Amino acid sequence: MMTEIWQKTATEIAALVRAKTLSAVEVTQAHLDRIDSVNGAINAIVQTFPDEALAQAQAVDQRIARGEDAGVLCGVPVTTKVNVDQKGHATTNGLKLQKDLIAPADNPVVANLRAAGAVIVGRTNTPAFSLRWFTRNDLHGQTLNPRDAGLTPGGSSGGASAAVASGMCAVGHGTDIAGSIRYPAYACGLHGLRPTFGRVPAYNASAPDRHIGAQLMAVSGPITRSIDDIEASLLAMAAPDFCDPWWVPAPYDQGAFPKRAALVVAPDGMPVAPQVEAALRDAAARLTAAGWSVEEVPCPSLRPAALINEQLWMADMRSVNAVVEAEGEADSQFVFAQMKARVPETDVDTLMGALQGRLPLIREWQAFLRNYPVVICPVSGELPFAQQLDVEAPETFTRIMEAQLTQRALPVLGLPALAVATGAQGNTPVGAQLVAGRFREDILIAAGRDIEAAGTEISVS
């Protein structure tokens, strides 16, 4: 059976466009047609601009015709999330209050994607304030999971994951402050990389700079259907931009490493579903078969880091309490209320203590990762959640927060983490999370390739 253009991976597309077997215009039109065909039922992409996309594609073809290097993602259809600036388009962040907030310039990650030859075919949905692991808001509506409409597509990059999983783009740009890349990838049966803090530059000219919590924890990264695409997308996104003072000129390839991994099924004793444990042990077995030494050991504690994440996040969110009220979106108001109940008012001493408390945690994890260059752990303690489960009741919200322990903790540590799809239980995706030392995305991708080589059942149809 012939593979349609929109079913191809990003690296396949780039190779075909570079070889002039396909034109970037052909590829773009195929994906625009796919958006027209399926987006109405999924609501992943909430802003489209076909003429602009086709003009970008034509410019890529012209570069190739002139014999120029068209970039690592030449002709690859990508989407950007509506919480980052794309010049001439609204940076809504899922808010009615920001529906007319038109970006004056590209966020560096958007500019880097363009420079790498990618063609932006649409803007993807996020929950209001990018606040949840579910994707719904009063401005753009709800996004459905293409694998199973009854499951969340994840959040906050749920639109990105749904777009990739349904073939509307080959690469989805996501952001992650508490799992917003890794969890949507997991929920939609994809791969998703949260890069090291400082790896990918970021800056939104449309709004004031964010407070210290978001500065230290929020990153941009890719969601894709192949590990090769994760690597290519990371290389594109991580190009220099000195608008971001936190950006670090760290090389991607940092040399040889021992193929040794730690399997941590239930960090800090978190509840883990049997299907999740089975997926973790499957990932460990795949690495063992590929020549890795895998040892089941406990990892340093994650709960203190998860608490710091909540303290920093709520210090930020309390500063915009009036905006949450003015937006009047019921789901985010419920989640905000639950978070306020979990975290007392963050005074100066609490904030300074949280910032100070990060350092010994990072130190402990860095020492652990010197012995075990890769940690295999849950993306979530549960299979992907049912739609809107977090706003059903305070009890379900608490259950979800516990299941998402690794999602909340790792951003505080500044470590890179990769969600790797390994298969499915019926229509429900399963997978594992890999963690490595700072700026060792090369190790994550090497391990991810070995897991992927044993089969992941990632497909679009």
Catalytic positions, written as ranges: 81, 156, 180
Q: How far apart are CA 139 and CA 83, in angstroms?
A: 13
List the strands of the sheet with 219-224, edge to edge: 45-47, 119-124, 77-81, 171-176, 219-224, 191-194, 417-425, 428-435, 374-377, 260-263, 293-296
DSSP codes of every residue in 107-159? -HHHHHHHHTT-EEEEEE---GGG-SSS-EETTTEEPPPTT-TTB---SSSHH
Instruction: Give CA 97 to chain center in angstroms.
Output: 25
Q: Look up residue 408 and give its DSSP letter.
A: H
The CA distances from residue 34 to 30, 161, 167, 170, 216, in Å, are 6, 15, 7, 12, 37
Ordered alpha helix ranges (H), 238-342:
274-289, 303-318, 321-327, 330-342
Handedness of CA 391, 393, 398, 399 (dihedral sign): negative
Residue 4 CA to residue 27 CA, distance in Å, equals 10
